[in-house]
């Protein structure tokens, strides 16, 4: 049957659009889990994720802090740092990948800042970490890893700024991930328990859940792709398009990062 040039052009455009949407959607579905986590990490809200990973207490004027610093939080902090490119962030933070990183501090709450803060050696002597019930050791050699220390010096000012008057005296403890141990991530299941002096702090993972996708309203019509026996529903194409174009956002407890219920 003869088709006018305008109709043929619209059908051709519809074919290309639907094919592109489906190809990209299939590519996304085929991403390895690690790649998906890396992509998702770039959308973490820094302050909200920091709130979910820090543990603080004031006991009669004695301040104790244990702050789990996952790679996703380090990436979010560096992303918020002016004049730092993504390629530079990846290179700077790569030395931290073999470790579980914790920021520690203890001191006396003063009028304007923490006083009598404890040094790293004392903090480490009085620390114990258990991951999924397995005790881990902060090996002395790892604490002086030059690449890791350089990366930590880059993120330390941001951590101190978020703590405000209690931001003095931050020290870091590095725990090397043992072979066979599943990777810890804010979006994955697991548990952490940290003992600092007489204080016990606990994280039940995940502390960060993916927000529910926003429903997409699709037109009821269909467009022909290829011959008359091959049809792609505009509803399917629109859903696939939303998977490609919608930015994945995360929020504590499954809330979107821009939700009014997000802490801090």
Mean pLDDT score, 133-138 = 95
Give the model's confidence band at 141: pLDDT under 50 very low, under 70 low, under 90 confident, else very high.
very high
Q: What pLDDT sits at residue 198?
A: 95
How many Å separate Cα 63 from the centre of its chain?
27
Q: What pLDDT sits at residue 230?
A: 41
Q: Render pLDDT for 24-63 as a digit per residue (tens, 0 to 9).
A: 333 333 433 333 333 343 357 899 999 999 999 999 999 9
pTM: 0.66
Mean pLDDT score, 249-264 = 41
Q: Render pLDDT for 68-116 as a digit per residue (tens, 0 to 9).
A: 999 999 999 999 988 888 889 999 999 999 999 999 999 999 999 999 9
Q: What is the CA radius of gyration of the chain?
A: 24
Q: What pLDDT sits at residue 246?
A: 40
Q: What pLDDT sits at residue 189?
A: 93
Give the model's confidence band at 217: pLDDT under 50 very low, under 70 low, under 90 confident, else very high.
low
Q: Render pLDDT for 188-205 as a digit per residue (tens, 0 to 9).
A: 999 999 999 999 999 999
Beta bridge partners of 66: 55, 104
Instruction: Tell me the domain boundaries of the chain.
Output: 5-32+212-254, 46-207
* CA proximity to 129, closest of 224, 30, 195, 219: 195
% the chain with pLDDT above 90: 55
């Amino acid at each position: 049957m003869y088709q006018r040039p305008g109709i043929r052009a619209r059908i051709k455009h519809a074919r290309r659009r639907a094919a592109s949407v489906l190809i990209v959607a299939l590519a996304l579905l085929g991403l390895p889990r690690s790649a998906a986590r890396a992509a998702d990490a770039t959308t973490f809200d820094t302050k909200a994720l920091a709130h979910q990973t820090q543990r603080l207490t004031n006991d009669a004027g004695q301040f104790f802090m244990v702050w789990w610093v996952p790679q996703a939080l380090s990436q979010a902090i560096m992303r918020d740092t002016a004049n730092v490119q993504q390629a530079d962030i990846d290179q700077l933070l790569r030395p931290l990948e073999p470790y579980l990183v914790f920021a520690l501090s203890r001191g006396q709450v003063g009028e304007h800042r923490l006083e009598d803060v404890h040094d790293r050696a004392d903090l480490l002597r009085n620390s114990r970490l258990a991951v999924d019930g397995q005790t881990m050791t902060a090996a002395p050699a790892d604490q002086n890893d030059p690449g890791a220390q350089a990366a930590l010096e880059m993120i330390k000012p941001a951590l101190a700024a978020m703590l405000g008057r209690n931001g003095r005296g931050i020290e870091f403890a590095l725990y090397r991930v043992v072979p066979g141990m599943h990777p810890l991530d804010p979006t994955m299941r697991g548990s952490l328990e940290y003992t600092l002096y007489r204080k016990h702090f606990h994280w039940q993972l995940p502390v960060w859940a993916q927000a529910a996708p926003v429903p997409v309203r699709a037109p009821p019509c269909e467009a022909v792709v290829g011959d008359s026996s091959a049809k792609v529903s505009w509803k399917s194409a629109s859903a696939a398009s939303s998977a490609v174009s919608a930015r994945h956002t995360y929020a504590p407890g499954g809330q979107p990062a821009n939700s009014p219920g997000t802490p801090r």
